[in-house]
Amino acid sequence: MDVALLVQVVLNGLMLGALYACIAVGFSLVWGVLNIINMLHGSLIVLAGYLTCSLWTEAHIHPFASLIPVGLVIGVGAAVLQFVLINRVVQQPVLTTLTLTFGLDMILYNLMNSVFDATPRRVTLDLGRVTLGEVVLPWDRIAAMLVALALTALLYGILRGSRLGRAIVAVRMDREAASLMGIRVPRIYALTFGLGAFMAGVCGALLSIVYPITTNATGQLLGKAFIVCVVGGLGTVPGALVGGLALGVTESLGSHWFGPQAAALLGFALMLALLVVRPTGLLGRKGYE
Amino acid sequence: MSLFLSRPRRQWAACLLALTAALAVPAVQAQTLKIGAPLALTGGLADEGKKQQVAYDMWLKRVNAAGGITVGGKKVKVELITYDYQTNEQRASQIAEKLITQDKVDVLTAPFGSGHTKVVAGVAERYGVPVVASVASSESVFNQGYKFLFGTLAPNGGLTDALVKVVTKQMPTVKKIALLGREDVFPKSMAASMADAAKRAGIEIVYNELYPVSTMDFSSPLSKMRSVKPDWIFMSGYTKDLILARKQMADLGVTAPVITMITGPAYREFAEALGPLAENVTSATWWSPAVSFKSDDVFGSTQAFVDDFRARGEKGEPDYVHASAAAALIAVQKAAEIAGSLDKTKLRDALAALELKTFYGPIDFTGNGMNAARELPIIQVQGGRAVVLAPEAIRQSTLRAVK
């Protein structure tokens, strides 16, 4: 067995995993805290990708420069959407919010199809790569890893250290008690949703360098976010990171040993196995499953 | 009892009336050739569906300008009935059924791709309605024994044979090939057909795998490919996959003198999204605006078709999807003119016997309904645009090695 190749495959998995974590972290927040399965998540990532691509082709703004602004645009937009629309059904069973976000997703998806058309586009930037002997690491993937880590750290910091974060956690634990403590629950919901969307936005902006942006990818992105959350566990911020990395490495090694066809299969097998053995996910806590 | 009898009698009368009406209608309707087109105008295949729509419209404009088509010595108007099936397989089948039973179309066109063509062809076959497919090239669609299905694309084998011919002739040093195909009707069949063609040409297959539809990363198969050092990397998939794979090849330092991506370079967006990375990537295709045929169809020549396309203000150049879609309707038109009737069985028989020279190239449906293989263009991205490497008659450049 070629050691360098195996090292490369594991590193490929970690890089891919970071990308998955990046995709899933906002989704995990919204699901874990608001108990909303946000079907819009994939489309929001793609929308951010389109915005970044347009900024690059029209105004030559580097994707790294548009990372935060694009994230903010998506985040604020989503917060407004949540406040005006989703808040009306947020207390209903999870199926109701799922149906609503599903409907919104179809609207957004088809709007993007008619505005941007489904043609895959990409920010044609080459950030170069790091070569360590026979092992190659592309810079854009490293950047994705750093951004995933930064987002996770940021989210962790907010939830642990800030008044807003404590309020979000309080609302998740007991909505009525939080309300009695003077927390304005609908606003917290909107802010949390916006925060999740901000993360989708940042991820989408980054993805536009790595991955061809097309509306066809929305379902795939959502699917990956879903698996990552189940694997990593809900209700804990590092869960998305751990889940993403676990999924990435599993797929990469699976693809290497059993052929690319087995990669997706193994990802789902991992999810199923965890659901049976550890329904809370790798890092999940009881009460969030 | 008499109370019960009176009602059925009334119904009988109504039925008779309806029947006479139904019999009377075809005499009036015979003035119009109704063509039904289920199209993916929204959803994942929206871009491709719109290309078909553009081509259909280009043909229709030409036909209308000529005052319709001539069937049995009379001018007949043409009506094109399109519905959006939203890139949804089930909806495609429902719409095909609706077009046949409610809109009473005389002939159908199939949507984009082998998979959805199969669905529509299944419905059409049940009702005995001829269906002409413009973007299906996998034999698995045409080997169902369907009598009413015809396709304007040549079989996949024609593409891979032409490709191997060009590569072995212009770059004889190529000895090892690595194959990666998408687990999907057309790309899978292309990969299999390529493996077969390579074997026959004595090229060693050093890697041969399929990747699942939901793949978001190619680093694992590509890393493995790098370790077997192929001279030729052949990948078949959808443009999105090809863009990602080409990008990751560069990231991981995977390269080969020949990189073929089916059918990436045939689409403008491939070169646009990849920039310099698209350079020198080859593909086979069914048609290129560079071919030049004189024809006795509504367009008259390839050049006239390309000019019409530009005059509409469409982006870039027409690709094989546009050309093949227009050719499908030309086949329908010629079949109706030759049959001298809009009777579905007669149309079918006329299609089966058809031999045409169109702006798109010759059309001659073989026993299974596919267009006979002919000299298919091999293209390569050079200087940001696709140029033709073969056949010799329309060659614009020679094969260059990927740097």
Distant-in-sequence contacts of A99-108, Cβ < 8 A, 24+ apart:
A101/A36, A101/A37, A101/A38, A101/A39, A101/A40, A102/A39, A104/A39, A104/A40, A105/A39, A105/A40, A105/A42, A105/A43, A105/A218, A108/A40, A108/A43, A108/A44, A108/A47
**Is residue B313 less than 8 Å (CB to CB) from chain A?**
no
Where in chain B is CATH 3.40.50.2300? 28-154+290-363, 157-285+377-394
User: Which residue type sits at A238?
Assistant: P
Query: pTM here?
Result: 0.81
For chain A positions 42-101, those within 8 Å of chain B (CB to CB) are none
**Is residue B66 less than 8 Å (CB to CB) from chain A?**
no
The confidence band for A34, taking pLDDT boundaries of 50, 70 and 90, is confident
Whole-angstrom Cα distance, residue B379 to residue B390? 7
Joined together, the tokens standing for residue A221 give 């992105």
Local confidence pLDDT in tens for the 403 residues of chain B? 444 444 545 555 555 555 555 555 444 445 799 999 999 988 778 888 999 999 999 999 999 999 999 998 899 999 999 999 988 899 999 999 999 999 999 999 999 988 899 999 999 999 999 999 999 988 889 999 999 999 999 988 888 999 999 999 999 999 999 999 999 888 998 999 999 999 999 999 999 999 988 788 898 899 999 999 999 999 999 888 999 999 999 988 899 999 999 988 988 889 988 999 999 999 999 998 888 888 989 999 999 999 999 999 887 889 999 999 999 999 999 999 999 999 999 999 999 999 999 999 899 999 999 998 777 899 999 998 889 998 888 888 999 999 8
Residue with tokens 């999924």: A247
Closest chain B C-alpha to A89 CA, distance in angstroms: 28
Give the pLDDT score at B25: 47
Q: Please tell me which residue, A155 or B205, carries the higher pLDDT value.
A: B205
Q: A-B interface: how many C-beta pairs under 8 angstroms?
A: 120
Average pLDDT over residues A67-82: 94
Tell me how many degrees the CA angle B64-B66-B72 measures, rounded to the nearest 5: 100
Q: Strand B131-133's sheet: what is its strand order? A: B69-71, B74-84, B32-39, B107-109, B131-133, B149-151
- Residues A75-130 have pLDDT tens digits of 999 999 999 998 888 888 888 989 999 999 999 998 898 888 777 888 888 788 88
User: Nearest residue of B to residue A20 by CA position?
Assistant: B216
Which strand (E) or helix (H) includes residue B74? strand B74-84
For chain A positions 247-266, those within 8 Å of chain B (CB to CB) are 251-253, 255-256, 259-261, 263-265
Contact state of A261 with B211 under an 8 Å Cβ cutoff? yes
Give the pLDDT score at B5: 45
Contact state of A114 with B183 under an 8 Å Cβ cutoff? no
User: Nearest residue of B to residue A141 by CA position?
Assistant: B251
For chain A positions 114-143, those within 8 Å of chain B (CB to CB) are 114, 117-122, 124, 126, 129, 131, 136, 138, 140-141
Whole-angstrom Cα distance, residue A250 to residue A264? 9
Give the pLDDT score at A29: 87
Give the pLDDT score at B372: 87
CATH for B157-285+377-394 is 3.40.50.2300
Give the pLDDT score at A267: 86
Question: To the nearest whole number, what is the mean pLDDT of chain A?
Answer: 87
Contact state of A121 with B272 under an 8 Å Cβ cutoff? yes
**Is residue A162 less than 8 Å (CB to CB) from chain B?**
no
The number of beta carbons lying within 10 Å of the beta carbon of residue B220 is 26
User: Which residue type sits at A136?
Assistant: V
Give the pLDDT score at B233: 97
| Whether the Cβ atoms of residue A201 and residue A73 lie closer than 8 Å to each other | yes
Residues of A in contact with B43 (CB under 8 A): 110, 113, 118
Taking each helix axis from N to C terminus, what angle separates A237-258 and B219-228, rounded to the nearest 10 degrees?
A: 30
Q: Over 80: is that where the pLDDT of A1 sits?
A: no
Closest chain A C-alpha to B329 CA, distance in angstroms: 25
Give the pLDDT score at A228: 92
What is the ipTM, given to two decimal places? 0.83
Contact state of B42 with A114 under an 8 Å Cβ cutoff? yes
In CATH terms, is domain B28-154+290-363 a member of 3.30.450.40? no
For chain B positions 190-249, those within 8 Å of chain A (CB to CB) are 209-212, 214-221, 223-224, 227, 239-240, 243-244, 247-248
User: Which residue type sits at A63?
Assistant: P
Contact state of B224 with A12 under an 8 Å Cβ cutoff? no
In CATH terms, is domain A3-277 a member of 1.10.3470? yes
